[in-house]
Structure 1
Amino acid sequence: MRHHGRAALVLSVACAVGVAGCSAGSNGSSAGTVTVNPALSKLGPDHGWSQTNVTVDPNSLACSAPASNPNRGVTATSVKIGMLATATSPGGVAFGDFPTGAKVRIDAANAAGGVNGRTIDLLGTRDDAGDAGRDGAQAKALVEKDQPFAAFVQTIDGNYIDAFCSAEMPFFGWGGNSGFCGNAIGFGITGCATPKTGDPRAYDTGGALTMANALPAGTARTAALIGLDNDSARQGIITVGQGMQAGGFKIVYEESPIPISGLKDATSIVNDIMRADSGKPPAVVFFVAQFGDAVKLSGSLKAAGYKGMIVSPLYDPRVSTVPELEGTYALLGWQGGFATDVPAVAQMVADFRKYSPGTALSLTATAGYWAADMLVKALQKTGENLTVDSFLKTLNTSYTNYVPGTVPETRWPLNHVAPSPCGTLAHLTNGAWSAPGLQCGAIAKAS
């Protein structure tokens, strides 16, 4: 199913783009300024990044028991993969392009002969419709009725994890909800972005340093963080703040005043922002908002005379001509589909044209493609003697996922508890997106 329309892309979790890890509790209170070793406070290539005092024993993670049915979904000639997604949502936050992207990569793999002699049988999408209760129910149905070997997941809520854990169901996706964190079965293409309370905590510096490097020379590193009025966005704002503080930013505003029902008037928020830094505006405004709210905030900030950087996780070729978004930035955890000078991106674009012509290369569509690519490569490495247990052993034993210039390195099991410290800052100018190459900061243990 393909989801059309601009509102499909906007997230309710800021750190789904891999801005930073979390080290605050779920009560929404900040844990104070985070610091990182100055030797690690610089950007480097999209692989080989530094990790400091962070190690993970996969046996200490949840969902690390042997599978009760290790041969589930596997035959001599096929392997069955399920799909759970927020494909539609009455609130406007949906990931309908994700299943399409995953199917494109699977179609390409099958056209090349499958994996180790097996065709990948991708099942239809179970849609939770953005409802937490339905998310859990659909996950249970997937586990008990569909009985796939593994699954792709892109949902707003993480309520699927209980059903998946009971079946030791490996799953792959973007990693923007808590289900991808603290367990041995969830694999996000940019790691774990939203650790749950009580999980091991780590943070990264990549996103903050990427934004800092885009500021004019001599500009003070000050930032305002604005979020939706829900728990995930509040935690996301804390997450972003932790990473930005680690990257040398002073946070002068950190609030979640945007109603879930939509922002009717941005005036009061903009007024607060314009004097947040001791009477003057900050250098960076980062917000997590639904599409309409993002347009209102950007337009109102510009109308108020704001000249700094406006940054969000919002990227999509379909919003390129929206006047209010002209000149804004999108912080991406992997390279966008516009970067066709990168060989892997060019191949992805060719695959979309062949197997799903007309699909916009949105973040959610490309997330599905790269999640499927991660699964395909893990299947290849595991080999012909494929079981759930052998597959998870492969992935959780010093496994690295990396697509040069396109998807940054993740390391497993480390990235079950931390995001990849990597990203790029896409800029919308003259109706077109562009971005430099991916760069990475460091992952360090949170105090």
Structure 2
Amino acid sequence: MRFRKGLLPVLATTLALAAACGSGSDGGGGGGGGTASAAASAGTATLSRSTASTPATWNTIPAPSSLQCADKAPNPTRGITDTSIKIGGLGTLSNAGTSTYQETDLGAAARFARENAAGGVFGRKIDYIGMTDDGSNAQQNADAGKKLAENENVFAVAPVATPIGAYADALCTNEVPAFGWSFNNGLCNRANTFGFTGCLLPDKYNSIQYGPYVELLKDSSDKSVVLLGVDNSAARQGVADTKASLERAGLKVVMTSNALQFGQPPADPSSLVRQIMTANNGKPPAMIYHVTDFVNVTALAQTMTAAGYKGIQISAVGYDPRLTGLKALDDTYTYLQWLPFQSTDNATVRQMADDVTKYGKGAGLSITSAMGWIAADMVIAGLKATGKDLTVDKFLSTLNGPDFHYGDGIFLGKTTWPQNHFYAAPCATAAHLKDGKYSLAVPLVCNDPYAN
């Protein structure tokens, strides 16, 4: 499998942000579901834990009464013919000469290709024109949104894979639906944009997914946690909100630090290591949560292991098949918002892996290819729910209506709209990397969100 050198640094930036998302910071498969849940509790946390056949559930918070970008489409049949539906992606494909979300593009193309091979949606094939590159530049990002809406005249934009949200204004003006993992604010608070796990950057609500941390410590009498973040205002707010969430869940945050510099691990980490190793009343904590970038996670995780730390180390940046041989991440955990590719007993995971392998043009079974596949799958779920008589307005009305949801509570947390325009589905999993192999450490588990 060919490694794209630019992937991990950029992805790590966004995933570190997503790890503290669901906080009011500045910074699968559509259809199925169920009503039963397996409950588990630890401390003051009440969780709903999925099994192979039983979904995890959660209670929504009422959404505000009004939404931006809820007008009628100026061209309600834009991108639609009797035989095709035109869709384009938008994301960061180049950044100082390196590739970034290319596999997100390929993952989406794979899902659309399988649907087309089966005859399309109500006889309409998906005309996927690929992902427009924003070059990690705000102006180019805005121009890409305008190009897709006004020059390409796409029905929808999927996947969106960029930390920049400047594209959203043009999509709003033209009422273009958009889909992606919402680590940019363009996928929040708008009636026409959908983060497939909800809004990860909410203005008002704290819906941090604390379930995996509780589950990993549920059999331990020691519930102590250290939170490590970088030194900027968004990260400080994210760490503070994460601390509040974990403590509400019954865990004990014994230390927080935002002393790290983004992308620059300390030359001499000895002082920080000493603080961590004595943070729990003179002892090491039960868990270290690295809410940082890839470079800091790998450096600090390795340093802590070398210092004799035996507890749990978890981050949002340690899951990728190309990392299995990286010794620095051995015996660490990664927070995810859906089941990893290793969960081959799950039908959605098997279908996603089969699609990427068959149609993905060399894409790896990675978090980035999954991002594209899931975004495309949500679009297809929405098209099928809308029916053959398709317009932009009918499509958006369906997705924002009471009868549509995405996610089954087993592979991916169930999202409902318009509620999840405003906050994230508080559901997550955890994968464990040990001896060069990933395994599922925590199946999908959900907690109830709460207002700040």
What range describes the TM-score normalised by the shorter chain of this pair? 0.7 to 0.9
Q: In 1, are the aligned partners of 2:227 and 2:255 still within 8 Å (CA)? A: yes
Q: Which of 431, 434, 444 is matched with 1:439 structurally?
A: 444
Q: Report how far residue 112 of structure 1 moved.
A: 0.7
Q: Structure 1 residues 179 and 256, CA, compared in 2 at 3 Å: closer, same or farther?
A: farther
Aligned residue identity for 1:184: A
Q: Which of 367, 372, 375 is matched with 1:368 structurally?
A: 372
**Equivalent residue, structure 2, for 1:123:** 129
Q: Report how far residue 220 of structure 1 moved.
A: 2.6
Aligned residue identity for 1:372: A
Aligned residue identity for 1:181: C
Aligned residue runs from structure 1 range 375-386, under 5 A: 375-386=379-390
Q: Which of 180, 199, 208 is matched with 1:192 structurally?
A: 199
Q: Report how far residue 213 of structure 1 moved.
A: 2.0
SS at match of 2:126: strand
Deviations 1:1-25 (A, max 9, x none): x9723625423353535x76224x5
Q: Which of 3, 27, 41 is matched with 2:46 structurally?
A: 41
Aligned residue identity for 2:415: T
**Equivalent residue, structure 1, for 2:292:** 289
Q: Which of 240, 247, 252 is matched with 1:250 structurally?
A: 252
**Equivalent residue, structure 1, for 2:26:** 26
Distance in 2, matches of 1:296 and 1:38, equals: 32
Q: Structure 1 residues 433 and 310, CA, compared in 2 at 3 Å: closer, same or farther?
A: same
Q: TM-score, normalised by structure 1?
A: 0.88
Distance in 2, matches of 1:88 and 1:253, equals: 38
Distance in 2, matches of 1:80 and 1:224, equals: 47
**Equivalent residue, structure 2, for 1:14:** 16
Q: Which of 392, 401, 405 is matched with 2:406 structurally?
A: 401
Deviations 1:15-45 (A, max 9, x none): 535x76224x538xxxxxxxx9988622333
Q: Does 1:345 align with 2:349?
A: yes
**Equivalent residue, structure 2, for 1:4:** 4
Deviates more, 1:292-301 or 1:218-227: 218-227
Aligned residue identity for 1:362: S
Q: Report how far residue 428 of structure 1 moved.
A: 0.5
Overall identity of the aligned pairs, in %:
35
For structure 1, which runs of at least 5 residues remain unmatched after alignment? 28-35
Aligned residue runs from structure 1 range 85-104, under 5 A: 85-90=91-96, 94-104=100-110
SS at match of 2:127: strand
Q: Report how far residue 173 of structure 1 moved.
A: 0.8
**Equivalent residue, structure 1, for 2:183:** 176
Distance in 1, matches of 2:188 and 2:268, equals: 34
Q: Structure 1 residues 419 and 92, CA, compared in 2 at 3 Å: closer, same or farther?
A: farther
Q: Does 1:324 align with 2:328?
A: yes
Q: Structure 1 residues 325 and 65, CA, compared in 2 at 3 Å: closer, same or farther?
A: same
Q: In 2, are the aligned partners of 1:422 and 1:440 still within 8 Å (CA)? A: yes
For structure 2, which runs of at least 5 residues remain unmatched after alignment? 28-40
Q: In 1, are the aligned partners of 2:72 and 2:393 still within 8 Å (CA)? A: yes
Q: Structure 1 residues 39 and 232, CA, compared in 2 at 3 Å: closer, same or farther?
A: closer
Q: Structure 1 residues 285 and 39, CA, compared in 2 at 3 Å: closer, same or farther?
A: closer
**Equivalent residue, structure 2, for 1:223:** 225
Q: Which of 259, 283, 300 is matched with 2:261 structurally?
A: 259
SS at match of 2:308: coil
Q: TM-score, normalised by structure 2?
A: 0.87
SS at match of 1:43: strand
Q: In 1, are the aligned partners of 2:324 and 2:436 still within 8 Å (CA)? A: yes
Distance in 2, matches of 1:7 and 1:48, equals: 30
Q: Report how far residue 133 of structure 1 moved.
A: 3.1
Q: Does 1:203 align with 2:210?
A: no
Q: Report how far residue 231 of structure 1 moved.
A: 5.0
Q: Report how far residue 443 of structure 1 moved.
A: 2.6
Q: Structure 1 residues 247 and 162, CA, compared in 2 at 3 Å: closer, same or farther?
A: same
SS at match of 1:60: coil
**Equivalent residue, structure 2, for 1:336:** 340
Q: Report how far residue 99 of structure 1 moved.
A: 0.7
Q: Which of 302, 308, 320 is matched with 1:299 structurally?
A: 302
**Equivalent residue, structure 2, for 1:33:** none
Q: Does 1:214 align with 2:193?
A: no
Q: Structure 1 residues 229 and 135, CA, compared in 2 at 3 Å: closer, same or farther?
A: farther
Q: Does 1:105 align with 2:107?
A: no
Deviations 1:303-341 (A, max 9, x none): 122111111112101101101100000011001112112
Deviates more, 1:238-247 or 1:292-301: 238-247
Q: Does 1:82 align with 2:88?
A: yes
Q: In 1, are the aligned partners of 2:26 and 2:234 still within 8 Å (CA)? A: no
Q: Report how far residue 429 of structure 1 moved.
A: 0.9
Q: Structure 1 residues 341 and 392, CA, compared in 2 at 3 Å: closer, same or farther?
A: same
Q: Structure 1 residues 286 and 10, CA, compared in 2 at 3 Å: closer, same or farther?
A: same
Deviates more, 1:110-119 or 1:129-138: 129-138
Distance in 2, matches of 1:184 and 1:370, equals: 19
SS at match of 1:10: helix
Distance in 1, matches of 2:351 and 2:361, equals: 14
SS at match of 2:13: coil
Q: Structure 1 residues 271 and 188, CA, compared in 2 at 3 Å: closer, same or farther?
A: same
SS at match of 1:82: strand
Deviates more, 1:253-262 or 1:393-402: 253-262
Aligned residue identity for 2:57: W
**Equivalent residue, structure 1, for 2:58:** 50
Q: Structure 1 residues 277 and 90, CA, compared in 2 at 3 Å: closer, same or farther?
A: farther
Q: Structure 1 residues 37 and 222, CA, compared in 2 at 3 Å: closer, same or farther?
A: closer
Aligned residue identity for 1:297: L
Q: Does 1:421 align with 2:426?
A: yes
Q: Report how far residue 383 of structure 1 moved.
A: 0.9
Q: Which of 134, 143, 147 is matched with 2:149 structurally?
A: 143
Distance in 1, matches of 2:400 and 2:372, equals: 21
Distance in 1, matches of 2:234 and 2:3, equals: 23
Q: Does 1:354 align with 2:354?
A: no
Q: Does 1:167 align with 2:169?
A: no
Q: In 1, are the aligned partners of 2:93 and 2:102 still within 8 Å (CA)? A: yes
Deviates more, 1:134-143 or 1:172-181: 134-143
Q: Report how far residue 89 of structure 1 moved.
A: 2.5
Q: Structure 1 residues 292 and 445, CA, compared in 2 at 3 Å: closer, same or farther?
A: closer
SS at match of 2:245: helix
